[in-house]
Amino acid sequence: MVDMKTSLCGIELDNPVIPASGTFGYGYEFAEIYDINCLGTFSFKGTTKDARFGNATPRIAECPSGMLNSVGLQNPGVEAVISEELPRLAKVFNKPVMANISGFAVDEYVYVAEKLDKEKQVGWLEINISCPNVHGGGMSFGTDPECAAQVVKAVKAVTTKPVIIKLTPNVTDIVAMAKACEDADADAISLINTLMGMRINLKTGKPILANTTGGYSGPAVFPVALRMVYQVAEAVNIPVVGMGGVSSAEDVIEMMMAGATAVEVGAANLVNPTACKDIIEDLPRVMDKYGIKNLKEIIGAAHR
C-alpha cells in the first residue's frame, strides 16, 4: 500500500495533485464530471478586487505541445466569489481550497487577501505576481525582487493563512525572485506561471491573439518548469509547489524529485477534464514501478 499524502504549509493533502488556477474555474463545473474531493485541493480562478470581463477575443491559440492564452483575468470580483462562488463550491467540495489572487496595485492584493482570509473554506492564498504593476510603469510585480517583496509583506500583514507566491518564469534570475519572497516572509513558492509567446495567422499576417501575445503552457514547457523548480527548491527553505506542463503521474513524481511538495496541473485540464483524476488514479502504479512507498520521502530526491 503506497502513501500518497503530502503536507503543504501545515495542511495535509490526501495526494499532491492540484488543478492550477485558471484551468479549473471555481470547481463546481468539474464536480459535474467527477467527485473533485479526490483532489489534494485546487487553486481557483484568479480573483481580483473588481469584476473583470477580460481581454478581447480571440484569447486562445493552439500550438504544438501546448497552447497560448490571453484571457485577461476574467472573473466576477472578490465580493461575488465570496457571496456566490464559495457557497456553491461548499456543496461539492469538503476540503480547504486554494484562493488565487491577482492585482494591479499593492492595495488591490491587500484588499482581496484580507477578504478571502476570513473565509473558512480557504486554506491558502496563492498570490499571482505576474500582473502588470499599474503604479510601476506596467512592469510585472514578479520581475522585480523589491516589488515582489513589497506585495508579500503587505499581504502577510493582513492574513493569518499561508501565503504562496506564484512566480513568472519570464525573468533573468528565478532564484533571486524566490529568495526575495522568502526573505519577505512568504510561506511557500509556486512556479511556473506561463511563458510569453505569440502566433501569427499566415493568411492575414496578423497575430492570432487579440492581445498579440499570451501565456504559453502545456507539455512543451515541462523541462523549463522542472529546471526552475529544481533551482528554487535548492535555494529556499520554504515549500515549493511545482507546475508547468504536468500531464502524467510520472511528471508529478519528477516534479517532486526536483523539490516540489505538491504539484499543480494546468493546461492538461483543458484538453482532458478528468486529467487530474486520471493522474491521481495512476500514481500508485507509477509509485510501485519505481519502488516508491511514500511520496514525502522523494521530495527533493534529485538534490541528494
Annotated catalytic residues are 131
The DSSP call for residue 36 is: G
Q: How many CB atoms lie within 10 A of CB 82?
A: 17
DSSP string, 80-101: HIIIIIHHHHHTT--S-EEEEE
Strands 206-207 and 200-201 turn out to be antiparallel
> 152 with 163: CB under 8 angstroms?
yes
> 151 with 129: CB under 8 angstroms?
yes
Q: Give the end-to-end CA distance of the chain in Å, rounded to a whole number.
A: 25
CA angle 284, 218, 70 (to 5 degrees): 135
What's the burial of 288, exposed, middle or buried (CB within 10 Å: 0-12/13-18/19+)?
exposed
